Amino acid sequence: MKIYLHHPVISIARSGVVAAAFLLSWFATTVEAATVTLSASDTNDAPGFHTAGNWSDGLAPSSGNDYVVAGNRTLRTGTDASGYVFAGKSLTLGDGTNSGELALRSGGTFTVDDLVLHYGRVANYTSSVTTTLAGNVTLIGFGTFTPSAATRVLNISASIRGAGVLRIENGITIITSSNNTWSGGTLLRNSSGTTPASLDVRADGALGTGNVTLQPGTTLKLGGGTTHQYLHENASLILTTGLSAGSVDLSFVGSNLVTSVRIEGITWTETGTYGAIGSGADHEFGVFTGTGYLRIGAIPEPSTSAAILGGLLLLATCAGRRHR
């Protein structure tokens, strides 16, 4: 004999359990993340990047919260040689009025999945060591990368996006991420007046879609890509008055298409190539070094070139026949 368990009490109980589970799941996915702020700058022995530090909730960063560093305060990392991964949902440096700083303190890799620079900056606080920032960076207003000393290197492998301006200051910054999309442009500046700022670009599309500007005391190196389109084709390279000879190293073979080149107050838009003296470029300047070119105006496609050549040959043939 078969027994069917359709007791109303059991059915109600089961329905209640299912409903409770659904509500818990819904609540977990709809509760907004809390915003936690840094109440004071970190000390070296209490780095808030991965410990409770000076966070307003008194806890180490966790995945459910957004974290903000503003008020000109500094968030420090630990010194483990391998680096650290930030556990929070997001990390914002600056609030649009006051800055916030992330101080990287070892030669390892520091990963932030959602790092927002809103008048904030990332600095290398190690001594004569390369440190790496990985993850994703969004620029709002402006954000700054600074190795903080001439012998320090800050390597950016993180993807960069947003509408803000990227400022490069004091020391050697390397960008190895490709196809970045930020649109506000890049400004190389010697903010200390004594420590040169150098940007070494090693991937195609690394410089986003905006213009690139060099101020006196700064250098730019382009190389290491495949297509050599480091600057966006709709961007301009702006070289202010007072740059030293060889400040722009075109360290590649080929050409980077741009919209214009501004040198010593003159904006060049004439079609052709721009490069170092002796490079064979159509327009040669002492501010450049290396074998590569900046190009204004697209290179004709092979089919187009063949058609032009064929047309010229046809004209020459017709002219020859008329003179017989």
pLDDT in tens, 107-128: 999 999 999 999 999 999 998 8
pLDDT of residue 128: 81
Mean pLDDT value across residues 131-147: 98
Q: What is the pLDDT of residues 61-111, one digit of tens each?
A: 999 999 999 999 999 999 999 999 999 999 999 999 999 999 999 999 999
Angstrom CA distances, 137 to 133, 229, 280, 295, stand at: 9, 21, 39, 29
- How does residue 320 score in pLDDT terms, banded at 50, 70 and 90? very low
- Beta strand 171-175 with 197-201 is parallel
- How does residue 298 score in pLDDT terms, banded at 50, 70 and 90? confident
Q: Which residues, 6+ apart, have CB-to-CB distance to 125 below 8 Å?
A: 76, 103, 104, 105, 148
Domain ranges of the chain: 33-319
Residue 53 pLDDT more than 60?
A: yes
Q: What pTM did the predictor assign? A: 0.84
Residue 23 pLDDT more than 80?
A: no
The string of DSSP letters for 73-139 reads: EEEE----TTEEE--SSEEEE--SSS-EEEEE-SSSEEEEEEEEEEEEEEEE-SSS-EEEEEEEEEE
Residue 301 or 84, more confident = 84
Lookup: tokens for 7: 């007791």
pLDDT of residue 299: 65
Mean pLDDT value across residues 173-191: 97
Q: What is the mean pLDDT of the chain?
A: 88
DSSP letter for 30, please. H
